[in-house]
Structure 1
Amino acid sequence: MQTLMSPGPLLDDRGHLVETGWAPSEIRKYRRSAITAPKFRIKEWDYYCVLTADYGIALTVADNGYMGLLGVSWLDFRTPHEITENVMLPFPMGRLGLPESADDGDVVVSKGKARFEFRHVDGGRHLIVDYPAFDGGRGLHADLFLAGPVDDRMVIATPFPKASRSFYYNQKINCLPAAGTVRIGSDDFTFRSEDSFGVLDWGRGVWTYDNTWYWGSASGLVNGERFGFNIGYGFGDTRAASENIVFVGGRAHKLDRIDFDIPQGTYDGAPWNFSSNDGRFGMTFEPIIDRAATFDVGVLRSIQHQVFGKFSGTVILDDGTSVVVRDLLGFAEEVRNRW
C-alpha cells in the first residue's frame, strides 16, 4: 500500500514517527530536538551528485553521530576512473549544524584547509568546495550552481522494525540543471545546464546498527524533456510506501516495488537488471565505474559499491504512456553498513 502523507511534524513527543508514507514535497517537518534516541544514533547527511556525459562529481557532508564525513568523488567516464577522498570528523554529535529542511538553511563545514559550502541562493543552490589536498596535493575547487525548478520530489518516512525510536526521513530531488566549473590541479572541467544534471540525497534519521540498502538514481534528458528516477529498498520498513518514483518534466509518477538483480561476483562487469512488480519499470544497467570503498574500524564497518553507468529500458507513466530510455547516465549501489 502506498500511503500519501499529510502535513505536520515528523515526530511526536515520544520521538516516534507521527505518520509513515511518501509525499512529492517536504510535507513533514523534521526537528532534531524532537528525537529521543541517543545523539550517537542520529544520522544526518547532504549528498549531491552532478553528472555530465564525460565526467561528474559527488559531494558529501555527513554527521553520523560518532563519525562525520566530508567527501569528494571525481568521476571520469572517458578513461574511466574515479578518485575519492574523505576527511573524517570524530564525534560531531550534531555540531555540524546540518539544516532541518532541504529547502532552507546552509551547510558550511571546514576541517583543516578543506571547506564545503552548500548554500541556498535565489533560483537554486550554490555548491562551493575547496579541497587543497585532493589527488596528492593537486587540489580541487568546485563552484557549481544547481537550478531549483519547482518540481515534485521523493519524500519518504519509514520506521525500523522493533526499534520504535528509529526512523528514516529522506528526500531525493532529481533533475537539477547544473552549471559551473571544477578545477583539479590546472585542469578545468565545465558543467553546462543544458546537459549537466544533479541530484540531492537529503537524509535525516535514527538508524539501527546493521543495514544493507540498494539505491539507484538517474537524471537527464529523454525526448528533449527532463527525466529522472529514484529506486531502492532496504531503508527500514517500506510497507507504507516505497521510494521508487519517476520524474518527467518535474512531475512525479509513483511506482511500487523494484528488485535489483546484481550479477554475483562482480559489480562493474556484467549488466544489472531492474524490474518492478507492477510491470511499469524495466531497466538494464551497463556499469562503467565501480566506486568501491571499505571502512572497517572496530564496531564501525561499511562496504560500499556505488556503480556509475548507463540505464536503458522502458517506464510506464501514470497515464499509461510508455517512455523508452536509452543510455541514461546514473548510478546504482549496494551498501552494507554497521554504524
Structure 2
Amino acid sequence: MDAGDLLDAGGRLNACGYATREVRTYRRDAIKAWPLRTKEWDYYCVLTDRYGLALTVADNDYLGFLGATWLDFEKRSYVSEEALLPFPLGGMDLPESADAGDVEQEHPKLSIAYRHVEGGREISVIAPNFANGQGLKGKLVLAQPPMDRMVIATPFPNAPRSFYYNQKVNCLRAKGAVTIGAHTFAFEPDSAFGVLDWGRGAWTYDNTWYWASASGIADGRLFGFNVGYGFGDTSAATENMLFVNGVAHKLADVTFHMPEGAPDSGPWRFSSSDSRFELAFKPIVDRAANTDIGLIKSDQHQVFGRFTGRVVLDDGSVLAIENLIGFAERVHNRW
C-alpha cells in the first residue's frame, strides 16, 4: 500500500492492503457511509509479567467510551472503570493520524490523556473511585524509536463505503508508575512493554474478530507480534506480522484454535498457513464483557496469558518464544 488519501470522493477505499508505516491519510469528513457507522478508537495495553494497564478512548458516533483496566496476573484478576458518553458524533476529536495529535478526555469517573512527547508517547489516567474508592492514578512514557508497525486498510464485502483503517504499534518500552490506593506499581523499560491499537473506520453492523498480540524479549531481542482475522475482506492482505528489533516480518494466514468451553477454560493453539507461527497460549484471566441493549450487542473475551512456541523469520531462522505475556481475544459485536 503506497501513500495518498485513504478514501476517494465517494468515500471508498483508494487502496487495500498493508504497510509498515502510516502511508494513507485518513479524514473523518471523507466518510460517506450510513450515519452512526463511524468507529474511532485508541487503545493502549502495557504489560509486565506481574501486572498491566489497559486504556481505551473510543468515539463510536452514537456512543463514546472511556475505559481503564488494571490486571493482576498473580491474583488472576482485573478491575475496570468505565464511562459512557452518549452521541459524541465525532466530538471527542480523536486525531486523524496515529503520529500527530493528542487525546484528552475528562469525565467525573475517568480522565485519560494520550500525548506525543519527544521519543515516544505519554499516557496518563486518573480514576478517583477505582476499585471501590481506592482510586487509580498513573503516567507512563512509551518509547517509540524508528520502527516498523502493522498498518492495514480493509474493505467489507457488499458495503463499498465501509472500511477499517488500523495501525498496531508493538514493542513500546514503558517507564513510569501506576498507583492504586496506597500501592504503587513500577513499570521499567526492560520488563514493561506496550502496544497501541489505533482504529478508524466505518463498520458494518454485525462482525466477529479475533486478535492476539504480545511484546517483550525473546532470545535477547526485542520481539512482538500482531495476528488476527475474522472481519472484512482480507484477500489483499492480512494483519499478521512479527517484529524483531523494530523490523517487521510478514506472515500468511493465522488460525486461532480455542478451547471448546469458556475462552479461559483451557490452552489455545495458534497455527499459520506458512508454518511460521506455531504457538501455544496458556490463559491467566479473561477480561469478559457482555452487553445486550436492543440493537446494540457485544460479547467480548480478551484473555491474558502466556505464549510459548516458535516463529520463523523472513530469513528462515527460528526464534523460540517462552512464556511471553500477552493476550488473545474473540469479540462479537452488533453495533
Is it true that 1:242 corresponds to 2:238 in the alignment? yes
CA contact (8 A) 2:259 2:268 kept: yes
CA-atom RMSD in angstroms:
0.8
Aligned residue identity for 1:313? G
Counterpart position of 1:261: 257
SS in 2 for 1:40: coil
1:171 offset after TM fit, Å? 0.2
Deviations 1:94-149 (A, max 9, x none): 00000000000000011225211000011111111111121111111011000111
Return the alpha-carbon distance in structure 2 between the equivalents of residues 9 and 285 of structure 1.
39
Structure 1 residues 64-83: aligned runs within 5 Å: 64-83=60-79
Counterpart position of 1:163: 159
Structure 1 residues 186-201: aligned runs within 5 Å: 186-201=182-197
Give % identity: 58
Normalising by structure 2, we get a TM-score of 0.99
Is it true that 1:312 corresponds to 2:281 in the alignment? no
Out of 140, 146, 149, the position equivalent to 1:144 is 140
Return the alpha-carbon distance in structure 2 between the equivalents of residues 253 and 228 of structure 1.
10
Return the alpha-carbon distance in structure 2 between the equivalents of residues 262 and 332 of structure 1.
10
Is it true that 1:205 corresponds to 2:206 in the alignment? no
Out of 38, 41, 44, the position equivalent to 1:48 is 44
CA contact (8 A) 1:138 1:185 kept: yes
Counterpart position of 2:115: 119
Return the alpha-carbon distance in structure 1 between the equivalents of residues 35 and 152 of structure 2.
22
CA contact (8 A) 1:39 1:94 kept: no
Aligned residue identity for 1:254? K
Unaligned 5+ segments in structure 2 are: none
CA contact (8 A) 2:81 2:110 kept: no
CA contact (8 A) 1:216 1:332 kept: yes
How many matched pairs?
335
Unaligned 5+ segments in structure 1 are: none
Counterpart position of 1:108: 104
CA contact (8 A) 1:308 1:329 kept: yes
SS in 1 for 2:36: helix
Aligned residue identity for 2:78? E
Is it true that 1:28 corresponds to 2:28 in the alignment? no
Is it true that 1:11 corresponds to 2:7 in the alignment? yes
Runs (4+) of structure 1 exceeding 2 A deviation are: none
Counterpart position of 2:324: 328
CA contact (8 A) 1:195 1:220 kept: yes
Counterpart position of 1:279: 275
CA contact (8 A) 1:156 1:170 kept: yes
Deviations 1:299-335 (A, max 9, x none): 1111000000000111111110111111011000000
Return the alpha-carbon distance in structure 1 between the equivalents of residues 310 and 51 of structure 2.
25
Aligned residue identity for 1:163? A
SS in 1 for 2:132: helix
SS in 2 for 1:69: strand
